[in-house]
Structure 1
């Protein structure tokens, strides 16, 4: 998923569960999965490009293509990530939800638990060409284990380490870092004269979670136990969060101002030469929009302790991405399935993922040479070899809120010069666990 704002899962479940029986997709009242609007669909797309208007330019011609093929007109609305989840909640309470919508893949289990979304059982998968067309890692982030997925993978994303080639050269750094020790050493070499080694967005709760989750994996921690209960204060979880915040508090390679950064601010610093490295999902299109040429930057896998990414403790990315879902009570179920089939067709998967710099979750589309460039190859190999999904549990959204806020507060401590210790990290995470229990 892209970086976004989340709301507590209790609110999400309560509102959606209350509204699901009366939630109607499309533009007319009613529901029940009928086809009383067979020639129209409403589609809420997430903002994937540099801005909303860029997405409209990308998607507009494709929707016209779908209309020519099927006779079904699609009304498009592109919704920025900070607003999308709240828009979903408002739509369900009003009974005027879209037929088809994009969701961040980390929401899958939370939304699945409400019963608001169409389950992708064998029949529904058959209508779009079959489940086997999709890469297994992408399917792992579509809902709780043992249940029919709540959505279908659309764009797959992973994190990578982007670095400024000129800043590395000027600092005498001969190769990009493969371990965290090498990253800290490189960051210290460039952190001078108003420049900093690494960018972060301490004000973005989801980004905080993504980084802590990966470091948690490397420390042997999952943040939840086998029963799905919070394990935020385990030694591994505490060590992971402290390691991330220490890039500012101890290593001093992240600027104190990053403690308050919101969406994409670290990318602008990178593009403007104020920061030498940034950990991000597919970023090529954003760099280009900010004036960077491909030759200005390089990309390598996110570091791991051994320098060799893989599974388990060598995990180096959360499995990010966008899923496409259908409201169960759409007025045009047949049309909605046709539209999902269109979006996940080999041709559209190649086109859309090329445009956005993401990786197709459809296996056949990954064979396109565009996904074997240096930057896309790093993302594709991370997706298949060393990425793991965030916990697919109903409380995942609340996890992002509570622990993401704890990390935000720890960054604020670091920026203010207050000590960040193992004890202070454990205390923040203990408070987050108590918040989850309410």
Structure 2
């Protein structure tokens, strides 16, 4: 009986949209319960190990119980392969119905015409813009466009993880250790000077996206930016950015564990848990991973989290994450929207956030969960208010690629570089970025 009532309620919701502006009947959205059974493909990119895989499986099962005529077939795609596979799918028309999409990719795929825009009725059906974190909504469309092409799903907000035992042995007060750039560097120096067998930092320097995400908060904290407000010009050669990159490069050169340097940023959390580095940067998913297995060498003596240090212009954190997009070539777009509506709903957001440790984009979903009460999530709760996204410009993928390529010599330098040396690298990078930005149609994806 309860199952019949639930199906009936879902059918009613599927047929309900928002009233048209001219007062005519509401627009129908979704996939009603009396429509034929279909199977939709969902591509997702796990940020970690099996925890997120299980979280996805749980959601597909919960969804199918509510929508027996829709089967979701999840397909796991590695982040490093996702851009190429999605580009191919966009041009071939043989991709998934729904895909997870990195927030920094929305501008490119939207400009490329690969995504099906959400209708006004569909946007209303998920609660509208106000239901989501403001910064997350800024990634739902490309700069200069009013078309919503990617619905906010999960938030990637960064904070610091640190070994409480290492700080205690070095006589460092964790309450003030990470407040500012000055105290952060002093903390790393004190750990190094204490003779600790654990290196002060664990930051990976072997991949593109993670490096930029860790570095951007320092540029913003110095009062600089990567691009100007409308995304048409690089600001990396300006004094504030040079100051920030010089500071960050110095920390890497003087305090990073050599073993960590050879890792990608996504491999660092496991290395930190195994005992490499006293301080690391990562998102909230590592909290869930660490709480699930606290016996590893780097965790069993004690660990905690702290907000990113504040620069002279304030405290900032990279806020990225994932959105949900329906491809223009989706075979079952109405059923695809039902899946998107489900994943962005409060219950799924709460369950997925708790199960995976990834932060919900829906603001109401945090209250009442351990994301709101577990002390280790405290730094992330605070950092949400300081989160900042990159501009959703079509060429952002190219911008990231240029930065990653040109900055390689920063991370592989034998020591701290002079400000003039950093300035030269940033000046060259700015010229390369500005050249790429001259072509507004350039996305870095597709043929």
| TM-score, normalised via structure 1 length | 0.83
Extract unaligned runs of 5+ from structure 1: 1-32, 307-312
- Tell me which residue corresponds to 2:225: 222
Distance 1:332 1:369 in 2: 33
Distance 2:325 2:82 in 1: 13
Cα distance, 1:242–1:344 mapped onto 2, change above 3 Å:
same
Aligned residues: 392
Q: How far 1:204 sits from its partner (Å)?
A: 2.1
Provide the secondary structure at the position in 2 that maps to 1:382: helix
Q: How far 1:92 sits from its partner (Å)?
A: 2.4
Is 2:309 the counterpart of 1:300?
Answer: no
Distance 1:37 1:263 in 2: 44
Extract unaligned runs of 5+ from structure 2: 1-29, 437-447
**Where does structure 1 differ by over 6 angstroms across 4 or more consecutive aligned residues?**
33-37
Q: How far 1:295 sits from its partner (Å)?
A: 7.4
Q: How far 1:260 sits from its partner (Å)?
A: 3.1
Correspondence 1:339-378 to 2 at 5 A: 339-372=339-372, 373-378=374-379
191, 194, 199: which one aligns with 1:196 = 199
Distance 1:60 1:284 in 2: 21
Point out the more displaced range, 107-116 or 34-43.
34-43
Is 2:76 the counterpart of 1:72?
Answer: no
Distance 2:135 2:275 in 1: 35
Is the 2:308–2:315 Cα contact (8 Å) retained in structure 1?
no
Q: How far 1:407 sits from its partner (Å)?
A: 2.5
Q: How far 1:193 sits from its partner (Å)?
A: 5.1
- Tell me which residue corresponds to 2:442: none
Cα distance, 1:215–1:56 mapped onto 2, change above 3 Å:
closer
Correspondence 1:103-142 to 2 at 5 A: 103-142=101-140
Is 2:251 the counterpart of 1:247?
Answer: yes
- Tell me which residue corresponds to 1:186: 187
Cα distance, 1:61–1:371 mapped onto 2, change above 3 Å:
closer
193, 205, 209: which one aligns with 2:208 = 205
Provide the secondary structure at the position in 2 that maps to 1:41: strand
Question: Based on CA coordinates, which of the two structures has the bigger radius of gyration?
Answer: 2
- Tell me which residue corresponds to 1:13: none
Is the 1:208–1:408 Cα contact (8 Å) retained in structure 2?
no
Distance 1:148 1:208 in 2: 30
Provide the secondary structure at the position in 1 that maps to 2:228: coil
Correspondence 1:23-422 to 2 at 5 A: 39-51=38-50, 54-70=51-67, 71-145=69-143, 146-175=145-174, 176-191=177-192, 192=195, 194-227=197-230, 228-249=232-253, 252-282=254-284, 283-287=286-290, 288-289=292-293, 291-292=295-296, 296-305=302-311, 313-372=313-372, 373-383=374-384, 385-413=385-413, 416-417=414-415, 420-422=417-419
Provide the secondary structure at the position in 2 that maps to 1:76: strand
Distance 2:135 2:220 in 1: 16
